[in-house]
């Protein structure tokens, strides 16, 4: 095994009072306003954003691909809140996975079932039988983005004591009801 060797000090290096060599830092290089191939503009914006189609009546921004009326948005967000809360309770062992069978695609249902079994095995309890958890999941927020009138993608923030998790879900309107077709845990 070879050991790295010390490099010789440069001509502008000078020893300090303890005999060690001090190499001065290079002076800061000025930043260009546009850098690299992405051409990022690093100049700050001083104008406020316009409250156009990307802002709701309360002034909160949202990012729909298409414009959606507020009753549909509120309805989906309330539905997604209940669905995500049930999903985290299923994985935690409080609910049976069959409670979300009607509103989940086969892949999502099987993923929820597998996660619930893994958590139950790790915690040495039966999945879906209800148990006393040391920390209960608390859903803090849900945000929806409509891709079309029948498809929405939702992000959710779940708190477990001092820890947080993010969930992303895709809901599609199938047979007059919202169905979760994708659910990702982070």
- CATH fit for domain 70-185, picks 3.20.20.70, 3.40.50.720, 3.10.450.100, 3.90.76.10: 3.10.450.100
Alpha-carbon distance of 52 to 48, in angstroms, equals 12
Alpha-carbon distance of 109 to 180, in angstroms, equals 9
Strand ranges across the sheet with 163-174? 137-148, 151-160, 163-174, 177-185
Q: Render each residue's pLDDT in the chain as its tens digit; 186 residues.
A: 555 454 544 445 555 566 677 676 777 666 555 545 555 566 777 766 555 555 555 555 556 677 888 898 899 999 999 999 999 988 888 888 999 999 999 999 999 999 988 888 877 777 766 666 677 888 999 999 999 999 999 999 999 888 899 999 999 999 889 999 999 998
Torsion of CA 88, 89, 93, 98, to 10 degrees: -100
> How much of the chain is helix, strand and coil, in % rounded to 5?
25, 30, 45
How would you classify residue 104: left for phi > 0, otherwise alpha for psi between -120 and 50, otherwise beta? beta
Length of the chain in terms of residues written: 186
Burial of 161 from C-beta contacts in 10 A (0-12 / 13-18 / 19+): exposed
Instruction: Scan for tokens 């892949």, then name that residue.
Output: 107
Domain ranges within the chain, ordered by starting residue: 70-185
Q: Which two tokens stand for residue 77?
A: 């967000």
């Amino acid at each position: 095994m070879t050991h790295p060797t010390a490099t010789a000090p440069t001509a502008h290096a000078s020893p300090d009072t303890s005999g060690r060599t001090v190499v001065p830092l290079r002076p800061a290089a000025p930043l260009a306003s546009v850098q690299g191939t992405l051409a990022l503009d690093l100049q700050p914006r001083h104008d406020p954003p316009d409250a156009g189609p990307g802002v709701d009546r309360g002034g909160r921004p949202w990012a729909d691909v298409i414009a959606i009326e507020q009753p549909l948005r509120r309805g989906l967000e309330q539905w997604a809140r209940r669905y995500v809360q049930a999903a985290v309770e299923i994985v935690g062992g409080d609910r049976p996975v069959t409670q979300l069978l009607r509103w989940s695609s086969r892949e999502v249902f099987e993923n929820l079932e597998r996660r619930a079994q893994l958590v139950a095995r790790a915690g040495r309890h039966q999945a879906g039988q209800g148990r006393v958890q040391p920390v209960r999941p608390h859903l803090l927020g849900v945000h929806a983005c409509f891709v079309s009138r029948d498809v929405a993608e939702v992000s959710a923030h779940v708190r477990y004591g001092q820890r947080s998790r993010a969930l992303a879900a895709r809901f599609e309107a199938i047979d007059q009801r919202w169905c979760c077709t994708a659910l990702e845990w982070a």
